[in-house]
């Protein structure tokens, strides 16, 4: 809902006045819209004037500036500006080399921009019109299609051409070519609400999304059940590739556009699904844009635009631009060292310490254990999340899976000649970096401490050395976490485990037997945390609510220790040549 306003009828004028006050160093207001301030000493250029209704920021005034539009006409919310407004902005933007008017293909815009063009021509100002028709869902016939987020790509091509000094014929030709090369499809999750109203212009049935929405609040052409991100990405990409322009090459400039209420994090996630689909289709992705570029007030939804590039359109797509709502400067990015080169340099700089045979054998056991724990935690993710949700935020299972997944990748990539300290050190670093949060830090540091206690130079790794390493693991968590036994944390399972492990080893048990015996104690003590009230961490404010439910961290600790015990027993049987 649009909440901040005085008189709803004045919303468009009031928001523009505030915007002009903010960007008075770059643009000036004229009747009906804004024009860019001239650049000192710059040659005159063709004026590219864009526009439409308000409610789409940064379209349309947000793209006025060097390398983009020369002016923008700003109508009322979702309403075409008047012919007088278009005329006023175009007249102010004209630098004596002619004007190109560009807008989405809507009846009101077509009429009013057309009338303004006639008036401008009558006064001797050569004026051309480029209409954007990128929305593949709105009509089968291209000329009848609406203009939606593809506006941005078409406007930028013309603005870059004008900034490069092209004449009016060239700027018009570039705009027409850019429009012919641009395709968009969008989906809505929820309708948008006009200022002063409480009900959206349209609604989407629960559990559905509207395919083929318009940016003026027009609903989609078809309601489709809500899809997981991977399937949504496939729907968008497949629909656009089916509309690929005839003769189009393999290069594309994508825009994944948010419509006002969709979080940037959601767009980033979706882009992670879209990109491989484009690459699998044999397309070369050129400087993609992900964010809010052509919005629709508070509409929930997104759109995907593909502009199929040739050499000329790619040059204009890559060109610098500096506007209030969009900035692209190539030089700083071009000066950066590519990520793969950084990774190669880091790999070359990583020196794997010499390791003894005993330490390398321990490292191999550690690798197997990390893989086994990864499988276990993925199996138990939902259970751990459900336990954590009773008095926490329910993310324990997800965090553990992220941490162990990163640790597994790290140990699998580690040099096979590395010792156990190096291998578990990489695992701990990866766990902490990927999982985040308190749990991630504790597990990461503890793994490093375990490996460091065994050492890359160990001449013997036996039960006593493992007990010392387990103690170092626990000490690390006690030191960093500041908790104690009885606080309803993972320590309530871990500390009894270490005590029992030491006792069994002191009594002469082999490592596998001692570990499995200690793991059973850990599980028992984890279950017993159901009777405790948390004294530290996020669960403490909901202490009473947690009574009756075991601690998620203690539970996962018991599970992990049990799985490692099973692995050690299996390795012992294999070593002795006994069938499992």
Annotated catalytic residue: which of 5, 31, 216, 460? 216
Long-range contacts of 511-517 (CB under 8 A, 24+ apart): 511/462, 511/463, 511/466, 511/568, 511/572, 512/565, 512/568, 512/569, 512/571, 512/572, 513/569, 514/463, 515/466, 515/561, 515/564, 515/565, 515/568, 516/562, 516/565, 516/566, 516/568, 516/569
| Residue 31 among the catalytic residues | no
Residue 158 corresponds to which tokens in the numbers above? Answer: 């013309």
Could you tell me if 405 and 348 are in contact, meaning their C-beta atoms sit under 8 angstroms apart? no
Q: Which helix (H) or strand (E) holds 128?
A: strand 127-132
Rounded CA-CA distance 521/500 in Å is: 7
Q: If we measure between CA atoms, which residue out of 563, 520, 561, 555 comes closest to residue 396? A: 555
Residue 96, judged by CB atoms within 10 A of its CB (0-12, 13-18, 19+), counts as: exposed
**Whether residue 58 has a cis bond before it, omega within 30° of 0:** yes
Q: What is the C-alpha to C-alpha distance for residues 464 and 466, in angstroms, rounded to an integer?
A: 5
Instruction: Give 49's Cβ-side CA count (13 Å radius).
Output: 34
- Spatial contact of 297 and 55, defined as CB atoms under 8 Å apart: yes
Q: What are phi and psi of 471, to 5 degrees?
A: -65, -40
Is-contact 438 431, C-beta < 8 A? no
Q: What is the dihedral of CA 496, 499, 504, 505, to 10 degrees?
A: 140
Residues serving a catalytic function are 216
């Amino acid at each position: 809902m649009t909440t901040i306003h005085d008189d709803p009828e004045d919303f468009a004028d009031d928001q523009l006045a505030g915007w002009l006050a903010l960007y008075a160093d770059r643009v000036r207001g004229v009747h009906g819209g804004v024009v860019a301030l001239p650049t000192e000493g710059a040659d005159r250029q063709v004026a590219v004037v864009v526009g439409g209704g308000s409610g789409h920021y940064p379209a349309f005034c947000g793209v006025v500036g060097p390398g983009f539009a020369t002016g923008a006409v700003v109508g009322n919310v979702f309403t075409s500006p008047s012919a007088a407004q278009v005329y006023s902005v175009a007249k102010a933007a004209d630098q004596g080399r002619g004007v190109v008017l560009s807008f989405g293909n809507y009846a009101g815009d077509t009429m009013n921009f057309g009338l303004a063009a006639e008036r401008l021509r009558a006064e001797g100002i050569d004026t051309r019109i480029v209409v954007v028709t990128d929305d593949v869902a709105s009509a089968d016939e291209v000329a009848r299609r609406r203009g939606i987020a593809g506006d941005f790509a078409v406007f930028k091509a013309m603005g870059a051409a004008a900034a490069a000094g092209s004449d009016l014929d060239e700027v018009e030709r570039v705009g027409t070519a850019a429009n012919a090369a641009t395709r968009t499809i969008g989906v809505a999750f929820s309708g948008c609400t006009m200022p002063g109203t409480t009900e959206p212009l349209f609604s989407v049935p629960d559990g559905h999304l509207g395919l083929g929405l318009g940016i003026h609040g027009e609903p989609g052409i078809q309601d489709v059940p809500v899809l997981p991100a991977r399937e949504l990405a496939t729907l968008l990409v497949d629909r656009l590739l089916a509309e690929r322009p005839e003769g189009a090459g393999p290069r594309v400039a994508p825009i994944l556009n948010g419509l006002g209420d969709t979080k940037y994090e959601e767009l980033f996630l979706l882009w992670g699904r879209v990109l491989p689909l484009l690459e699998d289709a044999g397309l070369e992705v050129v400087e993609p844009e992900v964010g809010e570029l052509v919005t629709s007030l508070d509409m929930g939804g997104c759109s995907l635009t593909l502009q199929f590039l040739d050499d000329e359109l790619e040059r204009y797509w890559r060109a610098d631009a500096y506007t209030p709502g969009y900035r692209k400067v190539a030089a700083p990015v071009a000066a950066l060292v590519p990520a793969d080169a950084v990774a190669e340099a880091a790999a070359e700089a990583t020196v794997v310490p010499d390791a003894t045979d005993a330490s390398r054998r321990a490292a191999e056991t550690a690798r197997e254990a990390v893989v086994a724990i990864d499988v276990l935690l993925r199996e138990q993710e939902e259970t751990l999340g459900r336990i954590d949700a009773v008095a926490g935020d329910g993310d324990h299972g997800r965090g553990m899976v992220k941490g162990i997944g990163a640790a597994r990748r790290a140990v699998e990539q580690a040099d096979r000649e590395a010792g156990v300290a190096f291998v578990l050190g990489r695992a701990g670093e990866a766990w902490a970096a990927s999982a985040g949060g308190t749990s991630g830090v504790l597990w990461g540091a503890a793994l490093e401490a375990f490996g460091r206690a065994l050492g890359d130079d160990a001449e013997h790794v036996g039960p006593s050395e493992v007990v010392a390493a387990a103690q170092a693991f626990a000490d690390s968590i006690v030191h960093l976490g500041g908790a104690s036994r009885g606080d309803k944390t993972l320590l309530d399972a871990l500390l009894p485990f270490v005590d029992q492990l030491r006792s069994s080893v002191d009594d002469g048990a082999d490592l596998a037997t001692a570990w499995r015996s200690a793991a059973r104690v850990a599980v028992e003590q984890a279950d017993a945390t159901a009777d405790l009230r948390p004294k530290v961490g996020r669960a403490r404010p909901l202490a009473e609510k947690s009574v009756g439910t075991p601690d998620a961290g203690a539970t996962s600790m018991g599970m992990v220790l049990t799985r490692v015990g099973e692995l050690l027993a299996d390795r012992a049987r294999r070593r002795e040549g006994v069938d499992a």
